[in-house]
Amino acid sequence: MDLKDVHELIKVVGESSLTSFELEDKGFRLSLKKEVEKVVERQIANQAYSEPASVHYAVTPPVTAAPAATLTPTQIDRPTVNSPIVGTFYAASSPGEAPFVSSGSKVKKGDTLCIVEAMKLMNEIEADEDMEILEVLVQNGQMVEFGQPLFAIRKL
């Protein structure tokens, strides 16, 4: 089992109503568990933001797992590429480099869209189909949640 297979399993489990999943194959063991996050809003310097707090009572769909301040109604109603993991969003492979994609970019299946760093691992997020990037929904260096929309897209 390679990293791409693990990412696919994370995506499938994330989009399902399962709260845990375990797999054991030829000495490889994978255990996935979902936690629901409760959004707590507070006001700082006249700018609202959301702060997640861990709650263990129900599972919500991936799109609603993102902090409320990062979504607008128009973003929810159009296709998006969502973060498969919690981590830090990076638009480019290193500081000073051009971003992998920007608004208007047309990408092919398998092209790298961004990197999400989690636990010191750089996870390349790839296009799962041909698409056009309509809008980048997060900023470089921003923390992202599991299921949080990263890009608004149009499928080609």
pLDDT digits (tens, 9 = 90+) for 19-60: 777 777 777 677 777 665 444 444 444 444 444 444 434 343
Output the CATH code of domain 61-155: 2.40.50.100
Q: Enumerate the domain spans of the chain.
A: 61-155
Confidence at residue 105, expressed as pLDDT on a 0 to 100 scale: 94
**Between the CA of residue 149 and those of 14, 23, 28, 44, 124, what are the distances in Å?**
13, 27, 31, 24, 16
pLDDT tens, 112-148? 999 999 998 999 999 999 999 999 999 999 999 999 9
This prediction has a pTM of 0.53
- Residue 63 pLDDT exceeds 50: no
